[in-house]
Amino acid sequence: MPREKFDREINAVSSELLILGGMVDKAIESSLIALKDMDNQLAEDIIYQDDFIDRKQIEIEERCNNLIATQQPMASDLRTLISIIHIAVELERMGDYAEGIAKIAIQMGKEGPLKPLIDIPAMSEISRDMLRKSLDALVNRDLIAARNVLKQDDQVDQLYQRVFQELLGLMTTDVDLIKRATYLLWVAHDLERVADRATNVSERVIYLITGKLES
Give the residues lining the site for other proteins (CB under 8 A): 1-3, 6, 72-79, 210-212
Residue 106 to residue 84: CA distance in whole angstroms: 33
CA 206 to chain centre: 17
Q: Which is nearer to other proteins, 174 or 214 (CB)?
A: 214
**Amino acid in the structure at residue 42:** L
Contact 154, 161 (CB under 8 A): no
Task: Say which residues have a Cβ less than 8 Å from residue 145's Cβ, sequence separation at least 6.
Answer: 133, 136, 137
Nearer to other proteins (CB atom), residue 18 or residue 78: 78
Give me the least distance between CB of 183 and other proteins, in Å please. 46
For residue 108, the minimal CB distance to other proteins (Å) is 48
CB of 31 to other proteins, least distance (A): 38
Mark residue 112 as left, alpha or beta (left: phi above 0; alpha: psi -120 to 50; beta: remaining): left
The residue count of the chain comes to: 215
State which residue, 75 or 175, has the beta carbon closest to other proteins.
Answer: 75
In the complex, least distance from residue 88 CB atom to other proteins, rounded to whole angstroms: 20
For residues 66 and 158, which CB has a smaller minimum distance to other proteins in the complex? 66
Query: Which residues, in sequence order, are CB contacts of 86 under 8 Å at separation 6+?
Result: 200, 204
User: Which lies closer to other proteins via its Cβ, residue 2 or residue 116?
Assistant: 2
Q: Smaller CB distance to other proteins: residue 17 or 209?
A: 209
Closest CB 105 distance from other proteins, rounded Å: 44
- Shortest Cβ distance from residue 145 to other proteins (Å)? 20
**How far, in Å, are 136, 143, 201, 212 from residue 207 at the CA level?**
15, 9, 10, 5
